[in-house]
Structure formats: C-alpha cells, structure tokens
Amino acid sequence: MAEGSNGSVLMGMIWMFIISLLLFWLPGLGSLIAGIVGGKQAGGVLAGLMAALLPGLLVAIGLFFAGTMLTTLPVIGATLAGLGLLLYVLYIPPLIIGALIGGLLA
C-alpha cells in the first residue's frame, strides 16, 4: 500500500515564518528550530528546501520592486534589495540545515 504525501510546502513556509518570528531572539538556534518544524511539516527533504528558499527569494524580489517604486530611484531600490538579500543570506544556512533534518524526519 503506497503512502500519499502528508505534507504541504505552503504549510511548511507558514510554520517556518511564524516560528522564526517567535524565536528571533535566538539568532542561529531559532531559525534551526523553525527549519526542523517547517521541513517536517512540508513532508520531505525537497519540499522542505523549497519551503525554506521560496519566501526569501520572493521577499528579495518584492523589496527590489517596492524600493524602486517608493523611492523612484532605481539605485536606492537596488541597494535596499541588496541589503534584504544580504540579511536573507545570513539567515538562511541554519534554516536550510533545519529543513533538511525536518525533511528526513518526515
């Protein structure tokens, strides 16, 4: 009897976001815990990785366009997007490691 997928990438993203917000005061450990829970909720390793990577990329793209629109200066918009991407790059390694662990536990 084949088992169906019992996870959802969207729910994994939501859980990672909520737990990351709640545990922001634990810089490395908070995002690791969020990754484990979100990866387990996503239902697998690949789904957990997608749940960890997609939100940050969407936020970086959104920052680029919003920064450009609100300031009407493309250089400032690009700078804001670059800073947002830099923060994302610093935040993502523990989240990805946690998503891998959670995906393996699922």
Note whether residue 52 is domain-resident.
Answer: yes
Note whether residue 79 is domain-resident.
Answer: yes
In the chain, what percentage of residues exceed pLDDT 90? 21
pLDDT-derived band at 71 (thresholds 50, 70, 90) equals low
Give the H/E segment covering residue 102. Answer: helix 74-105
Note whether residue 21 is domain-resident.
Answer: yes
Note whether residue 4 is domain-resident.
Answer: no
Note whether residue 51 is domain-resident.
Answer: yes
Note whether residue 39 is domain-resident.
Answer: yes
Residue 81 belongs to domain spanning: 9-105
Note whether residue 76 is domain-resident.
Answer: yes
Stated pTM of the model: 0.74
DSSP letters for 2-65: PPPP---HHHHHHHHHHHHHHTTTSHHHHHHHHHHHHHHHHTSHHHHHHHHHHHHHHHHHHHHH
pLDDT at 56 over 80: no
Q: Determine the pLDDT at residue 33.
A: 92
Averaged pLDDT, 76-103: 82
The rounded distance, in Å, linking the Cα atoms of 20 and 67 is 24
The rounded distance, in Å, linking the Cα atoms of 73 and 81 is 13
How many domains, in total, are found in the chain?
1
